[in-house]
Structure 1
Amino acid sequence: MAALLEGEASGYDLAKGFDASVANFWTATPQQLYRELERMESEGLIAARVVEQERRPNKRLFTLTDAGLKAVRAYTAELPGKPTAIRDELMVKVQCVDAGDIEAVRAGIAERMEWATAKLASYERLRGRLLDGRTEDEYFATAERIGPYLTLIRGVAFERDNLEWGRLALMRLEQRASGANGRA
């Protein structure tokens, strides 16, 4: 429902735009997204209308209903649960690096850093679109909705932290491998 706060959208548009809206804090496959749209429609939280297209299959456009907006308000009024626990296979491999393949772990960290760099570039493009020539202060004073920007800031901080940790981890693993800590 959060993605539909921006306005009417097709399932395809929602899936395509997921990376630019909520993927910095929530993941879902297109199949999960379509199942969720069906569920929300059956519960009356969203409404769909069919748009006929000449050269492509007809598409369904979804909007939040009054009941959906009420559900969003009720949801945001609830206290959040415990923070999500990190489940990261790379961290398990880093934990085992002393008994494992240090080069493979270093490659995993480097790959994670490449991923973080790409995500940061994507987030910076999104930041530019959201700000649209405004300063952050102007955006917060004039934007109709500030939530997307606040979550974007969190995503940026997360990926910057991934890069900082990756640089530190690679440096320490390099020192370890070269015997800089008194070990061969």
Structure 2
Amino acid sequence: MLIKNNRISIDDIIDECKNFYFAGQETTSSLLGWTIFLLATNKEWQEKARKEVAESFGQKVPNADGLSSLKIMNMILDESLRLYPPVPFIKRKVELTLPPKMLIYISPLAVQHDHKIWGEHVHVFKPDRFAEGVVKATNNNPVAFLPFGYGPQTCLGLNFAMIEAKISLSMILQRYMFTTSPTYVH
């Protein structure tokens, strides 16, 4: 953002908001696509989510109060992010032990599929592993769950993306049931 004379113009703010919104479009749509796929192949979780949405909103438009009570939805989204993180790698510049300016690529996919952390059913869709939160799901190693990065460089859009995904998925579940084609091969 270019600041002129120590002032931020309304156009600058609008541009920053647009940037923030559009930057997350691809990753949020990836999250929703994989979540719908996982729910289509796991009907019991699709029905649990639909029931929770119906209890929270009925056929009304989702609201902030109801979104915060969607425990099953949170578990489903976290498990979708674990199995299919929308960002294939996280790049960091190392200035400490390794040579300066060295770039390190961290693969959330590899970490989130480590059977030592996630157990023998690491490749199975099991949203209930998040029933008691990320720390319990990762066997007290929350750094093993990286769909939005971790620490001071965690994605700024984390909360926005999760709210957007919850609203979208709630509205989809209110209106549709989905299944995979009998000829689909994963």
TM-score normalised by the chain length of structure 2: 0.23
Q: Which has the higher contact order (CA 8 A, sep 6+)?
A: 2
Point out the structure with max Rg over C-alpha: 1
Q: Which has the higher helix share?
A: 1
TM-score normalised by the chain length of structure 1: 0.23
